[in-house]
A and B are shown apart, each in its own frame.
Chain A
């Protein structure tokens, strides 16, 4: 790690040295400290108070210790919400975005021409459009009375958002975010030498065997980056609120929506902050699990 060679001979390519490297990092770090770390620390503090949006506790919040955390951990609605969030992350990020994204990248790997450009263009369009627009597009698509999907499937009056709220937002989020995985895996598959795949195919390896033995070992790092980022993004995604608003009857109330309702609609800012902190810890666990599964295999490989 830290053993540096003789002083005066900068070890890095550009001759930065540690001091100037610090200078390069400083602007980002300052901004991040002020507008990311400070509010986060503040949230942790709020989590141990009974701070409210209105009323007596708004003017003079009291320290209540771990009460908020204990209340959250014992709350039925929190359990329900956590379970839905895990479903949402597994269904739409891991299976949906990463699975579909990889499948598209794999199918397009030796395609050129208009089909490739069309597929990529539409997948990317879903990703770069503003979320308020996209949410309304899905609302219109799935609407009970005039929705395009009901017209296409000839199922008039089918209330997708009421009958299948979780499935709806899972498919929505898959649609919304697949582009990132598609592009990342597209870049990753460029690192797999075609000759290796050719050899494996001639040796009679099935597609599944090729993926497992030839492709996966080479793109392990990409899989890790991909799952890590999209799981965290999905875990904290607020966009489903714009489609189902957590309903009906909290059946699609994932954690970010729950926090929003508790903190802003309900005015319990301290309680909301405590749940946010619990969410941060769960994210940490997810990140560590991925790192353990996919990262650092130096000693084995």
Chain B
């Protein structure tokens, strides 16, 4: 009997203490919540503000640099259709992005898988080295060698050339991101598949690919977005304007004649942006767009 009463007093003490601390925890929680919503609203405003212009100017009959409620019109889109390079350049962008995405995702998946599962001597040093190189080489630094290389390989004015150059630059980071995904997936499925006599390629196709699908989706979106926005490589390697992708045509719109044609520029910018946005929404709703990340040792 005495045992229970001791337990009871202890419980009563504990409950008064927890009630007091619960009160202060509630006050803190309310303050934290207010702070959090204020912060998130500010973030929302900061990220939405520059995008306003893209939403208003294309529909304005007299667009200025200020984002304002438009005098609604679709004439700008009609004018854009008359531009001989605008729409074909979007198609060119699609060719380049699709080609590079297929190459980068399939090659990177194979390499990342092998690097994740088999100890290759000097693996980490190799990955870091290539990552370092890729971050600098794709920029302005190697424009001249790249042009010479493409010229000697007869890849000037060739879509394949642009795709190969861009893929070479994107592969290290793609392998790096995918290897993180592969490292976190359990190997037990692969082991049991092997017991049942599956070949390594079969294992990759039927077991690894489904498991790391979100990672593949992430890398696909990342590759497409990179190629879609890349100006330098196509600008360098295409001499014919009818092969230029939208990234280059946008420039010609805002430098042509010294004064930017705001109606044309804003409308084309919107059309040029939409495909990546649509692709992103599609991929992220279907496969989820997320990172594992973190260098595991």
Which of B1-9, B69-77, B78-86, B104-112 faces chain A?
A: B104-112
Query: In whole angstroms, how far apart are the Cα atoms of A15 and B197 in the complex?
Result: 10
Count of chain B residues with Cβ under 8 Å from any Cβ of A?
102
Q: How many angstroms from the CA of A25 to the CA of B111 in the assembled complex?
A: 4
Say whether A63 faces chain B, with CB atoms less than 8 Å apart: no
How close is B265's CB to chain A, nearest CB, in angstroms?
Answer: 7
Interface residue B200 (Cβ < 8 Å from any Cβ of A): yes
Q: A107-B36, A233-B135, A256-B139 are in contact. Are A35 and B66 (CB under 8 A)?
A: no
- Asked whether A20 is an interface residue with its Cβ less than 8 Å from the other chain, the reply is yes
Bound together, the chains give a CA A131 to CA B276 distance in angstroms of 12
Q: Which of B10-42 contact A (CB under 8 A)?
A: 21, 25, 32, 36-37, 39-40
A237 and chain B: residue at smallest CB distance: B139
Tell yes or no: A175 within 8 A of B by CB: yes
Whether A70 sits at the interface, judged by CB under 8 Å, is: no
**Given A123-B47, A259-B140, A264-B140, CB of A16 within 8 Å of CB of B250:** no
Given contacts A1-B119, A24-B111, A128-B225, A35 and B168 within 8 Å (CB-CB): yes
With a CB–CB cut-off of 8 A, which chain A residues contact B53? 137, 140-141, 148
- Taking a contact as CB atoms closer than 8 A, the residue among B43, B141, B276, B290 that contacts A130 in the complex is B276
Residues in B with CB closer than 8 Å to A284 are 132
Contact code string B218-229 (vs A, CB < 8 Å = 1, else 0): 000100010011
Per-residue B-contact encoding for A1-41, CB less than 8 Å = 1, 0 else: 11000000001111111101110110111011011111110
Mask, B128-143, CB within 8 Å of A = 1, is: 1011111111111111
Q: How large is the interface on A (under 10, 10 to 19, 20 to 34, 35 or more residues)?
A: 35 or more
Partner of B194, one of A15, A20, A148, A256: A15
Closest to B224 in A: A128
Q: Name the residue of chain A whose CB is nearest to the CB of B194.
A: A15
Complex interface: chain B residues within 8 A of A138 (CB): 50
Give the contact stretch, choosing among A71-79, A157-165, A179-187: A179-187
- When the two chains form the complex, which single residue of B107, B138, B140, B229 contacts A132, counting CB atoms closer than 8 Å? B229
A228–B134 alpha-carbon span in the complex (Å):
13
Residue of A35, A38, A232, A264 with most partner-chain B CB within 10 A: A35
Q: Beta-carbon contacts of A116-152 to B below 8 Å, as 1s and 0s?
A: 0011001111111111111011101101011111011
- 0 or 1 for each of A230-249: is its CB under 8 Å from B? (1 = yes): 00110110100000000000
Q: Does A87 contact B (CB under 8 A)?
A: no
Nearest neighbor of A270 in chain B, beta-carbon distance: B144
Task: Flag if A136 contacts B265 (CB, 8 Å).
Answer: yes
B91 at the interface (CB under 8 A from A): no
User: In the bound complex, do residue B135 and residue A263 qualify as a contact, i.e. CB atoms below 8 Å apart?
Assistant: no
Q: Are A238 and B140 in contact (CB under 8 A)?
A: yes
Residues of B within 8 A of A214 (CB): none
- Tell yes or no: B190 within 8 A of A by CB: yes
A251 within 8 A of B: no
Closest Cβ of chain B: how far from A271's Cβ, in Å? Answer: 12
A1 CA to B86 CA in the complex, in Å? 55
Q: Is A192 an interface residue (CB 8 A)?
A: no
- Please name all residues of chain A whose beta carbon is closer than 8 Å to the beta carbon of B187 when the two chains form the complex: 12-14
Majority-rule SS of B interface residues: helix
Residues of A within 8 A of B110 (CB): 24-25, 27-28
Q: Please, how many angstroms separate the alpha-carbon atoms of A110 and B137 in the complex?
A: 40
Asked whether any CB of chain B lies closer than 8 Å to the CB of A208, the reply is no
Residues of A within 8 A of B250 (CB): 130, 132-133, 136
Residue in A closest to B39 when the chains form the complex, CB atoms: A107
Q: For B29, give the chain A residue with the smallest CB separation.
A: A201
Residues B140 and A39 in contact, CB atoms below 8 Å apart: no
Q: For residue B231, which residues in chain A have a CB less than 8 angstroms away from its CB?
A: 131-132
Cα-based distance from A46 to B141 in the complex (angstroms):
11
- Establish whether residues B228 and A130, one from each chain, have CB atoms under 8 Å apart when the complex forms: yes
Alpha-carbon gap, A259 to B59, bound state (A): 39
Q: Which residue on chain A has the smallest CB distance to residue B228?
A: A130
State how many angstroms separate the Cβ of A135 from the closest Cβ of chain B: 10
Min Cβ gap B229→A in Å is: 4
A132-B247, A232-B135 as given contacts; A28 in contact with B111, CB under 8 Å: yes
Pick the contact of B117 from A14, A28, A140, A148 — CB < 8 Å? A14
B273 contact set on A, CB distance < 8 A: 129-130, 133
- Interface 1/0 per residue, B255-297 and A, CB below 8 Å: 0000000000100010011001100100000000111111111
CB of A263 within 8 A of CB of B67, answer no
B contact residues around A15 at 8 Å (CB): 194, 200, 203
Residue in chain A with minimal CB distance to B245: A130
Provided the pairs A31-B168, A46-B144, A235-B135 are in contact, do residues A133 and B111 lie with their beta carbons within 8 angstroms?
no
**Which listed residue (B132, B134, B293) contacts A225, Cβ 8 A?**
B293
Which residue in chain B gives the minimum CB-CB distance to A297? B297
Listed A/B pairs (11) with beta-carbon separation below 8 Å? A13-B190, A15-B200, A38-B145, A40-B133, A137-B50, A175-B50, A183-B289, A219-B294, A232-B135, A236-B139, A256-B139
List 6 A-B pairs, minimum CB-CB distance, nearest first: A35-B168, A13-B187, A276-B141, A221-B294, A146-B65, A130-B229
Beyond the given pairs A24-B111, A25-B114, A221-B293, 19 more chain A to chain B contacts, judged by CB atoms under 8 angstroms and listed by A's residue number, are A16-B118, A20-B200, A24-B110, A38-B149, A104-B40, A108-B40, A119-B43, A128-B280, A130-B229, A133-B269, A134-B50, A141-B49, A148-B67, A186-B290, A225-B180, A232-B131, A256-B139, A276-B140, A291-B128
